[in-house]
Structure 1
């Protein structure tokens, strides 16, 4: 198939499904913001833990996806099935581990970032549920990646669509107590989230069994050699997201010295970012199996065409997104019932951070190409450069010597440094392979 048509066909359903996925993240935040700002601040502080959970699932999925696509390109169907069976075992193991640690981790984690007891209690209620019932999200992402690795992105979209719509419907019912149910507040938002993930996983299981003919899963298997191969690619991706979570944790601690409204504003930024980056991640996830397949098939020309087209697409998207955020920051923050103090901090924050998005799209696609080639180490180095070497030092200097507004310029500087890194290694790596 022609590359533009193929990239569109694989990516478009993923773009739609990821928009939907981020929509129910926004809907959660919208309704929780209506409880009060303390509740919204609590889920903002809890975000790094959720992010690490998603990072574990996505990192495993990225490694599995890349490996399966490569084996399919080589027509090695026995190996691709073995990878899928090992991925299933890993999803089950992670769900069990998080169920155990959900009993004792949330409170000390939250207490390390704030002394506000109401915020801590809200956060504990939320995290204990989303961590304890995380089997749903691990299974959902595992099944989505299987479908995606064989080009069945439409079923990935349907899996996420079903889970997201259910979450959106259940959020106000559980949070505010409609149809005779008790008002559960933040707990209700967490229950709606995990229910959406579990139902999405069940539909993903159906689609995999019924329509994914290239992959057959007979039983969970833990093949240690395949685990190693998955995490050669996946661990750097997991560490990358863990670094992001660590960065948010440190920034929250820095901002707590200013006010809880500053933490809430940062939380709103990440909610908006998770939404506006969805088109880029959609192209990104569509690009990985195309590049990995053609890498296995040793078709360099199609690899280069795919990368160039992805760069053009995401750059156009990010220019449009940046313009919207710069023009309408107040309206975007109002989604979260922002207080006057949160608006005072958040409006300049969004306008400054929006400038970084133009660079960020290209960096994200570059990292996807490294992963598709089976080299996640470069993706890890890029994350360390952006968040540890550049962003955190700039934020520390800004808080120490300037005002809160200067913190956000760290994002612009970090993304510019990242794009230089990605372009340099992209040229080197593509020529070499």
Structure 2
């Protein structure tokens, strides 16, 4: 029987944010552990393989950003219509969004498989590392459908007010990956050792589990998928509505991997150990910020429903709670990095230079995570109120206007620490500006709504 969608326009705000966020947190934790386990086992193969995985990071982030953009657009659209529109209309919206994802996958995989060598050479991967990169990405690209489609599907289910099931599906994928990683990388019984190819294959298989489960939920439990997409005009109209949010959201997120690619090239000038350390630190950073990411995903749903009912007081309360939480969480993470920075880096490698550089990243950039969280929460909130462009603009300002140029200058002046200080400055400046502008925007919407009434 179909589950009834949750109404988030009434009730205790703190309780709703908490009950929606913690299942998301488990799901995000599963995905981050997914990446950390890959990094750990590949690190056992050697620095070259670890550096190869680090070079793949911008492309992996690119795909994740693309799929998250479509997922966010879908989540925003569905959450703003799930209460007021008929189930049939919502079903068609969801189905058309999934169709859009399928088309995007087909285009991206085709391009990716045919441009691996020039793309990664341009990022600075030398001959000794490039072959490992090709081995990894040659398998990984075939798993892109298992990344994009579940991302969109999970966002559809979340928009109904259910964050538990998507979170558990993400955990299931991570568990499968954790089990398969050592077996496929190092060999087990009749399974031959495949090295870095095995890490990619474990990722593909783990993601495929999520695809099967989310399709089952969307079709059988939620009854939110159909092959009757409607007329071409209606399909294009839904795509337009999704892309109105997804376009700026994806651009904002895509700016990050593109800029990280540039920063990786800068760091490559300091040696393969520096690249490996940056890859380790980037994955740990994902783990450190996953609570904020989870809360941000919830804000899209919460604000989306409340903006449809003009519940501005509830929106302001949710933003204030979120701001305080982000700053407190950032402080906690920084303290943990001060105490455990070296042991955390040592989990992934025993190379002393890699450990030292990763620890330096934790100490410098880690102190700004609370402010980076404000930017992430602001981006989600802008999408929830159907105002996607500010989130993209602030992301561009952070990465292109501040982080990338400051990293280039900093590297010239004080070495690799200058790259890290650039990230520190960008996080604080843009975090404060984005959250202040968000409050100003919501106030304008409130006054505009009162004027119409």
> Normalised by the size of structure 2, how large is the TM-score?
0.92
Runs of 4+ in 1 over 6 A off after TM superposition: none
**What is the distance in 1 between the residues matched to 2:108 and 2:246?**
19
Aligned match of 1:67 in 73, 77, 91?
77
Q: Does 1:24 align with 2:34?
A: yes
Deviations 1:71-113 (A, max 9, x none): 1132343432222011110121122223322321111111113
Which moved further from structure 2: 370-379 or 96-105? 96-105
Aligned match of 1:412 in 424, 428, 443?
424
Aligned match of 1:357 in 369, 385, 407?
369
**What is the distance in 1 between the residues matched to 2:31 and 2:268?**
29
Confirm or deny: 8 A CA contact 2:248 2:389 kept in the other structure.
Answer: yes
Q: Which runs of 5+ in 1 are unaligned?
A: none
Which moved further from structure 2: 160-169 or 344-353? 344-353
2:241 — aligned with what?
Answer: 229
**What is the distance in 1 between the residues matched to 2:212 and 2:395?**
33
1:217 — aligned with what?
Answer: 226
Per the alignment, do residues 25 and 397 of structure 1 end up closer, same or farther by CA in structure 2, a change over 3 Å counting? Answer: same
Deviations 1:273-304 (A, max 9, x none): 11111111111111111100011122112211
Deviation at residue 219 of structure 1 after TM alignment = 4.1
2:176 — aligned with what?
Answer: 166
Aligned match of 1:183 in 193, 197, 203?
193
Q: Does 1:394 align with 2:406?
A: yes
Confirm or deny: 8 A CA contact 2:26 2:168 kept in the other structure.
Answer: no
* Residues paired across the two proteins, number: 432
Per the alignment, do residues 423 and 153 of structure 1 end up closer, same or farther by CA in structure 2, a change over 3 Å counting? Answer: closer
Deviation at residue 384 of structure 1 after TM alignment = 1.2
**What is the distance in 1 between the residues matched to 2:195 and 2:144?**
20
1:85 — aligned with what?
Answer: 95
Deviations 1:291-336 (A, max 9, x none): 0001112211221122222222222222211111122111111122
Which moved further from structure 2: 91-100 or 21-30? 91-100
Q: Does 1:375 align with 2:375?
A: no
1:384 — aligned with what?
Answer: 396
Deviation at residue 220 of structure 1 after TM alignment = 5.3
* 1:135-284 matched pairs, under 5 angstroms: 135-212=145-222, 215-219=224-228, 223-284=235-296
Counterpart secondary structure, 1:73: coil
**What is the distance in 2 between the residues matched to 1:210 and 1:76?**
18
Deviations 1:191-230 (A, max 9, x none): 10011111111011122223325x3534456611111111
Q: Which runs of 5+ in 2 are unaligned?
A: 1-10, 446-453
* 1:246-325 matched pairs, under 5 angstroms: 246-325=258-337
**What is the distance in 2 between the residues matched to 1:423 and 1:242?**
21
**What is the distance in 2 between the residues matched to 1:273 and 1:8?**
22
Counterpart secondary structure, 2:80: helix
Deviations 1:222-258 (A, max 9, x none): 6111111111111111111211111111112112222
**What is the distance in 2 between the residues matched to 1:217 and 1:418?**
42
Deviation at residue 115 of structure 1 after TM alignment = 5.0
